[in-house]
Amino acid sequence: QKEVEQDPGPLSVPEGAIVSLNCTYSNSAFQYFMWYRQYSRKGPELLMYTYSSGNKEDGRFTAQVDKSSKYISLFIRDSQPSDSATYLCAMKETSGSRLTFGEGTQLTVNP
Amino acid sequence: SQTIHQWPATLVQPVGSPLSLECTVEGTSNPNLYWYRQAAGRGLQLLFYSVGIGQISSEVPQNLSASRPQDRQFILSSKKLLLSDSGFYLCAWSLRGGNYGYTFGSGTRLTVV
């Protein structure tokens, strides 16, 4: 079983829809949680970062962490065609610098 | 501000030829450095990471090697490329603890023919 599970999609939504992207994990030592966005043929870029449980909002993006369920989510409101990309979740324990990545979910927002 | 440079962007190499991909970081000191490979439609596979000059940890035994000759320079090499070495190679850096995530370069798309 992988430490981090992420539905690879592909996920296709109409412009303006609310998008929900999710990851589950098995390692209860994970404390830092991140979401990366990767456009085709580009390197991943850090989109959201949270520590421990709770919510974090940045514009149209909201990241949620539920440590009791070992479940994290990224919500995109009013999705735009420019949001079309692969979204990867990543997690880290308190010690060490190793990030564990999900496989990524491919999202397409149709105009 | 910190920047990471990775080159070349695209590379086509014949089987059996050598490889050298270079990555440099600016604007920070003593970064952790990483090499990843990403197959088409797949996730990120950590190949090597380094916490200091000359300190390299290998994650996956393979046809590749890495070196860190300077604090902010990370090189990925191969003496003889295999077809299976094709992929998208990404360099990344982080602060010592990595708590704020990694910053990735723009990647090198390698095709071995």
pLDDT in tens, B22-45: 999 999 999 999 999 998 777 899
Give chain A's mean pLDDT. Answer: 94
Mean pLDDT of B46-66: 91
pLDDT in tens, A73-86: 999 999 999 999 99
Instruction: Measure CB to CB from residue A42 to each of B92, B99, B106 and give the nearest one.
Output: B106
Instruction: Please list every residue in chain B whose beta carbon sits closer than 8 Å to the beta carbon of residue A32.
Output: 99, 101
List residues of A whose CB lies inside 8 A of any B CB.
Answer: 8, 32, 34, 36, 41-46, 49, 51, 88, 90, 92, 96-99, 101-104, 106
DSSP code of residue A69: T
pLDDT at A67: 94
Q: How far apart are the first and last CA of chain B?
A: 38
Count of all residues that appear for chain B in the document: 113
Give chain B's mean pLDDT. Answer: 93
Q: Quote the CA–CA distance of A73 and A35 in Å, as a whole number.
A: 9
Q: Quote the CA–CA distance of A95 and B14 in Å, as a whole number.
A: 42
CA distance B17 to chain A (A): 24
pLDDT at A10: 92
Which residues numbered 19-38 in B keep a CB inside 8 Å of some CB on A? 32
Q: Do A104 and B100 lie within an 8 Å CB cutoff?
A: no
pLDDT in tens, A27-48: 999 999 999 999 999 999 999 9
Q: Which of B35, B74, B36 is nearest to B52 (CA)?
A: B74
Residue B61 has pLDDT above 80, yes or no: no
pLDDT at B59: 87
Q: Do B97 and A97 lie within an 8 Å CB cutoff?
A: yes
Instruction: Please list every residue in chain A whose beta carbon sits closer than 8 Å to the beta carbon of residue B44.
Output: 44, 88, 101
Q: Which of B26, B36, B98, B29 is nearest to B62 (CA)?
A: B36
pLDDT in tens, B67-80: 999 999 999 999 99
Confidence class of residue B100 from pLDDT cuts 50, 70 and 90?
confident
**Helices (runs of H) and strands (runs of E) counted in chain A:** 0, 11
CB within 8 Å of A26: residues ≥ 6 apart: A1, A2, A3, A4, A70
Could you count the other beta carbons within 10 Å of the beta carbon of residue A38? 22
CA distance B113 to chain A (A): 19
**Would you call B22 exposed, middle or buried from its count of C-beta atoms within 10 A (0-12, 13-18, 19+)?**
middle
Instruction: Please list every residue in chain A whose beta carbon sits closer than 8 Å to the beta carbon of residue B41.
Output: 8, 106
* CB B77, CB B20: distance < 8 Å: yes
